[in-house]
Structure 1
Amino acid sequence: MQYNQLEAAGERRLCVSDGTTTYDLTSADDSLRSFGDLARAAGLTRSTVDDLADALIEDADTLSLEEVDRDVTVPVDAAEVWAAGVTYRISEEAREEESSKPDIYLDVYDADRPEIFFKATPSRTVGPGEAVGIRADSEWDTPEPELGVVLYRGEPVGYTIGNDVSSRSIEGRNPLYLPQAKVYDRCCALGPCVVSSQSIDDPHDLDMEMTIHREGEVVYTGETNTGEMVRSCEELVSYFTRHNAVPELAVVLTGTSLVPDSPFDLQVDDRVEISIEDIGTLANPVTQV
């Protein structure tokens, strides 16, 4: 099942789609206004989010696709978004290319311990159709399409799409600048929905595609499969949660799967579209922050 959070006139609602019909779960239970509310209720009843949604559907109003597209917002209010680095070979090559100290990345791809870093808070995260940001003090910026694992109390409950927008010029000057290259206003996009874990047969075999539009033209397109990821979602989640007081809701982005060839540089008013099989398409314009 696919879950969307909607917002209109300052009011949040939660809806679910079974592939043919979209249901307003808030109309069936006014206490369910976010994906977090549903995950929390499922946890209390020791059921899955899909089981709980199924029980509510017969009492829920239906919604049109037009209503969902009009009011859709970020699909999960994750208190923290974290991300993994160098989980695809292309990411290792890009890190080495941009860096003035490329040797630091040589052992990350094959190391026992993955790279896990903090990415965003809710105030820095945008949803479908909202503008992602590029820093005004950066000379080289790229979007980074990633599969996101949605966690409730450290346990996977679904998947979404993430855009880990990054400054390659700032990170390239010195690896210690990674937080500034990664964490800033509008640095992360999530969406368009959360697909439950039960609805994804294998998160390590999903086709992915990214297209970037500029002034009516396609300036980049690329595709891959999550099977190219050298680490599993379970491994990345394990390293995120170990010895760490994780928040109730979190998202772990699993690594950059596609990187435009240099000297590609993301520009204001570009439009980035990231598609992942069985999840959908996350589309965002670009602005400067």
Structure 2
Amino acid sequence: MTTAHVPGEGILIGRGLVPGHTHPRILTVRAGAVFDITAKGAATVRDIAEMADPAAHVRAAPGTSIGSVEALLENSRATAPDPRLPRLLSPIDLQAVKAAGVTFVASLLERVIEEGARGDRSKAEALRAEVTALIGSDLSKIEPGSPKAMELKATLIAKGIWSQYLEVGIGPDAEIFTKAQPMSSVGYGADVGLHPISQWNNPEPEIALVISSRGVIVGATLANDVNLRDVEGRSALLLGKAKDNNASAAVGPFVRLVDGDFGLADVERAELTLRITGEDGFVLDGASNMAMISRKPAALAAAAIGPHHQYPDGLILMLGTMFAPTLDRDGPGKGFTHKMGDVVEISTPALGMLMNRVRLSTECSPWTYGTSHLMRDLAAADLL
């Protein structure tokens, strides 16, 4: 993959561990160098996202150089990062971590297949052919919640193939769920985790919006909404177990802030590429084109935050993916699932590249540094 790990333009904000400091530091990139811009009143990404013009603050903030982007990335993606050198963390902190599901036709069909297979990947291929024959390409032309969508819903119910995933795919209401807790997401180069019970799983390459408590979209970043297909396929009520496990949400490498050169229109026309490289020599390439999303990003943001639901510390919202891996890995008809040690690279030029390695959640570094720890450390450093 040729996309730079960090975009060469734009106003970027992130977080990292910097030697000499007990708490995460706020970072930005200027002309290939990384600067620590942590300051009193602006010691969290949340605080900066709440400002009237986050990009203007980051652009003008005084900072201390901590080295080159290349050195920071190299240490961050090392299997054993050097604690004497800076490394990246997830670029968000106090924000809620939310996700939108079933926002692309391709992933919608795969969810219907998962449900029909009851989590058994050996049944997926036959079901895929059956469901596609019944539905065809109708869904790609349907605006969710429209009269045409409701007409199709009635037709599908009459055919006996209605699904809860079709409901959120073409019905009036978007699926918005909690992906992870604040402070629990992992960043560039970190291990991402799979629950040990899963035998059928995949990455989900997505763009995530960074949204302030006022509902303003202030930036965007890359995300991997790690997914357990067999668990969710058994029952949608197991969504929490399928989606929210240790190290199961990766975000980064930086948030690109909205300014005169980058905004929601750039998100809407972005194309994400994905590569999975296994220790067994397996390589899978995929893509997710935001122009094919069924529900517009602004509509998804409005479904997540508004008079019906407030987020005092803001939120990030993963927008979903059209990537649905079907390439056989272990034999004909067995489809794709992760193996330990897989390297997942998600990229788009405007946001850079997010790279992570796959492990079991039980073998990833445990989540031990939460909001209370951050607040105590910032108070001790007189940064609140």
TM-score under structure 1 normalisation?
0.89
Cα distance, 1:67 vs. partner?
4.4
**Residue 374 of structure 2 aligns with which residue?**
none
1:63-118 deviation per Cα after TM superposition (whole angstroms, max 9, x unaligned)? 42144323111111144211111111111011011113762222322222111111
CA distance in 2: counterparts of 1:194 and 1:127, whole angstroms: 11
The answer to whether the 8 Å contact 2:26/2:45 transfers is yes
The answer to whether the 8 Å contact 1:80/1:247 transfers is no
CA distance in 2: counterparts of 1:78 and 1:251, whole angstroms: 10
Say which SS state the counterpart of residue 245 (structure 1) adopts: coil
1:116 equivalent to 2:176? Answer yes
- Relative to structure 1, the CA distance from residue 110 to residue 136 in structure 2 (aligned partners, 3 Å threshold; closer, same or farther) is same
- Relative to structure 1, the CA distance from residue 268 to residue 32 in structure 2 (aligned partners, 3 Å threshold; closer, same or farther) is same
CA distance in 2: counterparts of 1:218 and 1:278, whole angstroms: 28
The answer to whether the 8 Å contact 2:205/2:288 transfers is no
1:64 counterpart (65, 68, 76) = 68
**Residue 267 of structure 1 aligns with which residue?**
339
Cα distance, 1:30 vs. partner?
5.2
More strand by share: 1
1:200 equivalent to 2:262? Answer yes
Amino acid at match of 2:204: E
1:237 equivalent to 2:301? Answer yes
- Relative to structure 1, the CA distance from residue 75 to residue 88 in structure 2 (aligned partners, 3 Å threshold; closer, same or farther) is same
- Quote the sequence identity (%): 29
**Residue 132 of structure 1 aligns with which residue?**
192
The answer to whether the 8 Å contact 2:34/2:68 transfers is yes
**Structure 1: gaps of 5 or more residues:** none
**Structure 2: gaps of 5 or more residues:** 1-10, 76-86, 119-160, 327-333, 362-384
CA distance in 2: counterparts of 1:67 and 1:270, whole angstroms: 23
Cα distance, 1:31 vs. partner?
4.8
Q: For 1:144-223, what aligned pairs fall within 5 Å after superposition? A: 144-153=204-213, 154-198=215-259, 199-201=261-263, 202=265, 203-215=267-279, 217-223=281-287
Q: For 1:15-54, what aligned pairs fall within 5 Å after superposition? A: 15-18=27-30, 21-26=33-38, 29=39, 31-40=41-50, 43=51, 46=52, 48-54=53-59
Amino acid at match of 1:3: I
CA distance in 2: counterparts of 1:260 and 1:138, whole angstroms: 16
Say which SS state the counterpart of residue 106 (structure 1) adopts: helix
1:12 counterpart (6, 13, 24) = 24
Cα distance, 1:21 vs. partner?
4.9
Q: For 1:100-115, what aligned pairs fall within 5 Å after superposition? A: 100=116, 103-115=163-175
CA distance in 2: counterparts of 1:78 and 1:123, whole angstroms: 6
CA distance in 1: counterparts of 2:226 and 2:272, whole angstroms: 17
The answer to whether the 8 Å contact 1:164/1:187 transfers is yes
CA distance in 1: counterparts of 2:284 and 2:94, whole angstroms: 30
1:81 counterpart (97, 109, 121) = 97
- Relative to structure 1, the CA distance from residue 124 to residue 20 in structure 2 (aligned partners, 3 Å threshold; closer, same or farther) is closer
The answer to whether the 8 Å contact 1:92/1:105 transfers is yes
- Relative to structure 1, the CA distance from residue 22 to residue 184 in structure 2 (aligned partners, 3 Å threshold; closer, same or farther) is closer
The answer to whether the 8 Å contact 1:149/1:251 transfers is yes
CA distance in 1: counterparts of 2:70 and 2:48, whole angstroms: 23
**Residue 91 of structure 1 aligns with which residue?**
107
Say which SS state the counterpart of residue 284 (structure 1) adopts: strand
CA distance in 2: counterparts of 1:187 and 1:52, whole angstroms: 31
What's the Cα RMSD here? 2.0
Cα distance, 1:245 vs. partner?
2.6
- Relative to structure 1, the CA distance from residue 25 to residue 67 in structure 2 (aligned partners, 3 Å threshold; closer, same or farther) is farther
Aligned residues: 280
Cα distance, 1:263 vs. partner?
1.4
CA distance in 1: counterparts of 2:113 and 2:179, whole angstroms: 22
Say which SS state the counterpart of residue 254 (structure 2) adopts: strand
Specify the structure having the higher radius of gyration (Cα).
Answer: 2
The answer to whether the 8 Å contact 2:99/2:320 transfers is yes
- Relative to structure 1, the CA distance from residue 216 to residue 64 in structure 2 (aligned partners, 3 Å threshold; closer, same or farther) is farther
CA distance in 2: counterparts of 1:257 and 1:124, whole angstroms: 25
CA distance in 2: counterparts of 1:276 and 1:75, whole angstroms: 17
1:2 equivalent to 2:9? Answer no
